[in-house]
Amino acid sequence: MGTSVSQSSPKTTSWRSVNTCYESDQVTVDRIVKEIWHAAGSEGSTIEAQIKSPAVFACYNLAQSDVPRDRMHDALSDVSPRYGNSMVVEYAKRATIIASQAEQPAKQWPRIFFKELTNYLVSRDASGFVGPASRSKTVGDLINLKRSIGTEVERVLGEVPISARNVNGWLHAVDSALRALRR
């Protein structure tokens, strides 16, 4: 049996800016989202390239397909062996399962995917900023902050039309989503 080790964000200027957001309640939630996605696209980060990968597009494409809900897990099991795997691909698979149970799965998938991925990025560091001197005084405050950040991501992406019929279209769709999250 293995154990999981939490991996914090790199100690770069961009991620330190994100950490500052977790310390101060003067920083708005929309600003936190912008800082997270600026840092995620900063030099040395592979997150943006992983989002643009054929594997993530395959998950997005499955959300657009007519695969029955009860067959979605089987369809997703082909993604990693075919395209490779990463943490981002795992969140894309998760978003596909969640979206397959929603109304208009293709429309919901980008919001769900970016919200799940943002939650992961927040969880890498934010738990270290709970206490009297931080924005989140309690774990409950941190949970509410994560929820607010996720809601903001969904709101922002709800205003951005995201669709792609092929990998090249996916690259443009991701660029549009990231531009919106960074604005």
Residue 153 — φ and ψ, nearest 5°?
-60, -45
| pLDDT tens-digit series, residues 98-138 | 998 888 888 899 999 999 999 999 999 999 999 999 999 99
Confidence of residue 1 (pLDDT cuts 50, 70, 90): very low
How far apart are the C-alpha atoms of 31 and 52, rounded to whole Å?
24
Q: Which long-range contacts (CB under 8 A, 24 or more apart) does 12-18 make?
A: 12/39, 12/42, 12/43, 12/44, 14/38, 14/39, 14/42, 15/39, 15/42, 15/125, 18/125
Beta bridge partners of 136: 130
With tokens 């494409």, the residue in question is 61
| pLDDT tens-digit series, residues 68-101 | 878 888 999 999 999 989 999 999 999 999 998 8
Mean pLDDT of 21-49: 93
Quick one: which of 147, 177, 171, 174 has its CA closest to 159? 177
> How much is the pTM?
0.91
Higher pLDDT, 67 or 6: 67
| pLDDT tens-digit series, residues 159-181 | 999 989 999 999 999 999 999 99
Question: CB within 8 A of 5, min separation 6: which ones?
Answer: none
Region of poorest pLDDT, from 18-27, 38-47, 122-131: 38-47
Give the pLDDT confidence score for residue 5 in this predicted structure.
56
| Domain spans in the chain, listed from the N-terminal domain onward | 27-182
